């Protein structure tokens, strides 16, 4: 399957996955070194979902995420310099608000909003899908959320509404097996998430995020069908969150997870597996991949420098953004 795709696409998307990984590792280091003083939610090891799905979207499609959204923003062609500026609270931010790490907004990239509230964006995505439907526009809406959102009523009401109105919307559940610190089998009686929505007569799929090419090929087919048929679809991606729920600290060998579990999933790293395939199938040589690593490091360093050399937002301007007089 790898060789049936254009090599340029595989290389491009490999670079994007690597950029997200190294970006979040940079954020991780800054927090640990106390250069950043804020909670951050990292999507390390889940990069394949956002990158390979968003590769099949266009600039006019609407995308919504929750608090673990750095990678999703970059996957939807967001500006990395402005994202770092956003996190540092600088005037050159992407959202034009002091929202920080969990609340990214960039209309130019089609990123309507992210939120720290798990279910917040689900109904909003249906709203943009309804607007597209009423205006006869070809846009689709994509809403990303996690398995914890399946405990909330809003997901079921929104799916029901979307099916009734035949809306062009894609519901994407990134099932990383933990809702904050709670294992999925402790908060859902049926852990086959795609089964939970079948009663609404919505087409649903379960896809292993582990195979990045499968994610790309399958989501391309699904997105094309949503766009043409104007009908909602639900996808469950089975994935895993390596880091703890918040900031950079892990939560294994404590109350929730064991180190053996982390090691098992680390062996399934989607970037490492794709990199191995690229070399094994002679798409690129190892020395070229090493050069890509270096290029990504330079991009990350420049983005950090961009943020640090710009001014922080002043108090009066902040008050004007937050309060209305």
Residues 164, 232: Cα–Cα separation, whole Å: 10
DSSP-assigned states of every residue in 23-84: HHHHHHHHHHTTS--S-----TT-HHHHHHHHTT--TTSEEEEESS-HHHHHHTT--HHHHH
- Residue 31: pLDDT above 50? yes
Edge-first strand order for the sheet with 169-175 is 111-115, 62-66, 141-146, 169-175, 233-238, 203-208
Q: What is the DSSP letter of 150?
A: G
Of the candidates 162, 157, 160, 188, the residue with the CA atom closest to the CA atom of residue 175: 188
Average pLDDT over residues 218-229: 91
Residues 154, 121: Cα–Cα separation, whole Å: 10
Asked if 53 and 236 touch (Cβ cutoff 8 Å), the reply is no
Best-predicted range by mean pLDDT (21-30, 42-51, 236-245, 293-302): 293-302
Residues 215, 207: Cα–Cα separation, whole Å: 7
Residues 275, 231: Cα–Cα separation, whole Å: 35
CB neighbours (10 Å) of residue 63?
31
DSSP-assigned states of every residue in 250-314: --BTTTSB-HHHHHHHHTT-HHHHHHHHHHHTTSS-HHHHHHHHHHHHHHHHHHHHHHHHSPBPP
Residues 154, 122: Cα–Cα separation, whole Å: 7
pLDDT confidence of residue 258? 74
pLDDT confidence of residue 127? 93
Superfamily in which the 2-322 domain is placed by CATH: Thiamin diphosphate (ThDP)-binding fold, Pyr/PP domains (3.40.50.970)
3-class SS shares of the chain: helix, strand, coil, % to 5: 50, 15, 35
- Interstrand relation of 182-183 and 178-179 (parallel, antiparallel or unpaired): antiparallel
pLDDT confidence of residue 100? 62
pLDDT tens digits, 108-120: 665 676 666 676 7
pLDDT tens digits, 163-205: 999 999 999 999 988 887 788 888 888 999 988 998 999 999 9
What pTM did the predictor assign? 0.87
Sign of the four-CA dihedral 43, 44, 46, 48? positive
pLDDT tens digits, 77-103: 778 888 877 777 766 565 555 556 666
How confident is residue 128, by pLDDT bands cut at 50, 70 and 90? very high
Residues 252, 15: Cα–Cα separation, whole Å: 30
What are the CA-CA distances from residue 138 to residues 68, 94, 244, 249 (Å)? 28, 26, 38, 42
């Amino acid at each position: 399957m790898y060789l049936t795709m254009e090599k340029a696409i595989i290389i491009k998307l490999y670079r994007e996955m690597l950029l997200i990984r190294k970006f979040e590792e940079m954020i991780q280091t800054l927090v640990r070194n106390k250069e950043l003083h804020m909670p951050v939610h990292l999507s390390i090891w889940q990069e394949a979902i956002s990158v390979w799905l968003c590769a099949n979207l266009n600039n006019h499609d609407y995308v919504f995420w929750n608090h673990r959204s750095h990678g999703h923003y970059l996957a939807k062609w967001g500006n990395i310099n402005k994202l770092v500026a956003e996190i540092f609270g600088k005037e050159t931010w992407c959202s034009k608000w002091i929202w920080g790490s969990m609340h990214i907004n960039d209309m130019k990239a089609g990123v309507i909003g992210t939120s720290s509230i798990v279910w917040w964006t689900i109904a909003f995505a249906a709203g943009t899908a309804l607007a597209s439907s009423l205006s006869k526009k070809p846009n689709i809406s994509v809403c990303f959320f996690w398995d914890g959102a399946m405990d909330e009523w809003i997901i079921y009401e929104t799916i029901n509404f979307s099916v009734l109105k035949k809306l062009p919307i894609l519901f994407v559940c990134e099932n990383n097996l933990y809702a904050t610190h709670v294992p999925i089998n402790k908060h859902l009686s049926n852990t086959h998430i795609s089964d939970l929505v079948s009663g609404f007569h919505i087409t649903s799929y379960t896809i292993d995020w582990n195979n990045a090419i499968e994610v790309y090929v399958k989501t391309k087919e699904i997105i094309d069908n949503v766009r043409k048929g104007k009908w909602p679809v639900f996808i469950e991606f089975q994935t895993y969150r390596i880091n703890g729920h918040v900031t950079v600290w892990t939560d294994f060998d404590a109350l929730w997870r064991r180190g053996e579990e982390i090691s098992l999933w680390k062996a399934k790293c989607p970037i490492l597996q794709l990199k191995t395939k690229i070399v094994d199938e002679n798409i690129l040589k190892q020395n070229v991949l090493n050069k890509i690593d270096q290029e990504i490091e330079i991009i990350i360093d420049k983005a950090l420098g961009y943020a640090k050399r710009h001014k922080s937002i002043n108090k009066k301007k902040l008050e004007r953004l937050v309060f209305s007089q």
